[in-house]
Amino acid sequence: MKIKKGVIPAAGLGTRFLPATKAQPKVMLPVLDTPALQYVVEEAVRSGITDILIITGRGQRSIEDHFDRSIELEAFLEAKGKFDELKQIREIAEMASIHYVRQKEALGLGHAVSVAEAFVSGEPFAVLLGDDLIHGSVPLLADMLRVHEKYGRSVVAALEVSREEIAMYGCIEPEWVEENLARIVSIIEKPAPGEAPSTLAAIGRYVFTPEIFDAIRETQPGRGGEIQLTDAINQLAQEQAVYANRFDRGRFDVGNLFDYLKATVELALEREDVGPAFRAYLGEVAARKKLL
């Protein structure tokens, strides 16, 4: 069965981007002229996901407004003859069937995924974190969906990181079955570098069988009273095969300021309208700073 349902947890407070996130969700911060969350929705749609649930929190109504029709704006653009902009605005509202549910308490990523249980209705589904951007040239989610179609099991995106960085991620102990595909023997949330079984980190793309909800229910709250999705995946991996799909490029964690800047620069350089001028400007800045 083809997976058509996707879940995007987007309820985080974005404290690393204060004060910008004081009055707007972090996933709505623009990367160039497009909110980060829109890139994630577009990725889901490119991969064949047509029915999307966005999990929001208090004060995040702007997410719903962005993906809704804006009749007044459309009328204004049409009256002004701005038909390219009108087409672009209408496409945002029509790209997928988008639903919303509120995570009433910030109880962790595992809890956020659990509130999607009624939406997925016992079907396998994809999860895309709203502040993890994957470059459009990297078919990561599509590859993961093919792995699920072949094996019928859950799949986690995985990226090799440095030994020091692994302490910031869920760390996978792999048993390789193909060149870039491993069965997850275990997965540990944010281990100390010296205790990590590998440097293979779980990244914010997942394909889950519905048994993940039972695993979440069996997962005890950890630090801060949060239910860690990593712990639930580890529980599931002890009961049935869960696979890690390794990739090696095109990921930006735009919940991190440095990655946010990298995404902005790299995507700007690729744009036909601003890329050439921006590239020249960066060259000027680099030359000028070298002289200081």
Q: How confident is the model at residue 6 (pLDDT cuts 50, 70, 90)?
A: very high
| Domain shared by 278 and 156, yes or no | no
Q: Which amino acid is at 109?
A: L
Answer yes or no: is pLDDT of 292 > 60.
no
Residue 58 to residue 60: CA distance in whole angstroms: 6
What is the per-residue burial (b if ≥16 Cβ within 10 Å, else e) of 101-135? bebeebbbbbbbbbbbbebbeeebbbbbbbbbbbb
Provide the 3-class DSSP secondary structure of residue 274: coil
Write down the mean pLDDT value for the chain: 92
Number of domains in the chain: 2
| Domain shared by 263 and 133, yes or no | no
The mean per-residue pLDDT over the stretch 20-26 comes to 85
1 vs 125, higher pLDDT: 125
Give residue 20's pLDDT. 82
Answer yes or no: is pLDDT of 237 > 60.
yes
| Domain shared by 286 and 197, yes or no | no
pTM: 0.92
pLDDT digits (tens, 9 = 90+) for 36-91: 999 999 999 999 999 999 999 887 889 999 999 999 999 999 999 999 999 999 99
Give residue 88's pLDDT. 92
Give residue 291's pLDDT. 56
Q: How confident is the model at residue 132 (pLDDT cuts 50, 70, 90)?
A: very high
Answer yes or no: is pLDDT of 287 > 60.
yes
| Domain shared by 224 and 197, yes or no | yes
| Domain shared by 123 and 268, yes or no | no
Residues spanned by the domain of 291:
256-292
The mean per-residue pLDDT over the stretch 28-38 comes to 93
The mean per-residue pLDDT over the stretch 118-127 comes to 96
Answer yes or no: is pLDDT of 106 > 70.
yes
Provide the 3-class DSSP secondary structure of residue 259: helix
Least confident of 25-29, 122-126, 173-177: 25-29
Q: What is the DSSP string of 3-44?
A: --EEEEE-----GGGTTTTSSS-GGGSEETTEEHHHHHHHHH
| Domain shared by 230 and 263, yes or no | no
Instruction: Find the CATH number of the domain harbouring 193.
Output: 3.90.550.10
| Domain shared by 273 and 196, yes or no | no
Answer yes or no: is pLDDT of 280 > 60.
yes
| Domain shared by 11 and 114, yes or no | yes
| Domain shared by 250 and 279, yes or no | no
Residue 31 to residue 208: CA distance in whole angstroms: 28
Residue 206 to residue 18: CA distance in whole angstroms: 28
| Domain shared by 152 and 224, yes or no | yes
Residue 106 to residue 115: CA distance in whole angstroms: 12
Answer yes or no: is pLDDT of 18 > 90.
no
| Domain shared by 277 and 185, yes or no | no
The mean per-residue pLDDT over the stretch 263-279 comes to 94
DSSP H helical ranges for 196-239: 212-218, 229-237
Least confident of 19-28, 118-127, 156-165: 19-28
Q: How confident is the model at residue 12 (pLDDT cuts 50, 70, 90)?
A: confident
| Domain shared by 206 and 272, yes or no | no
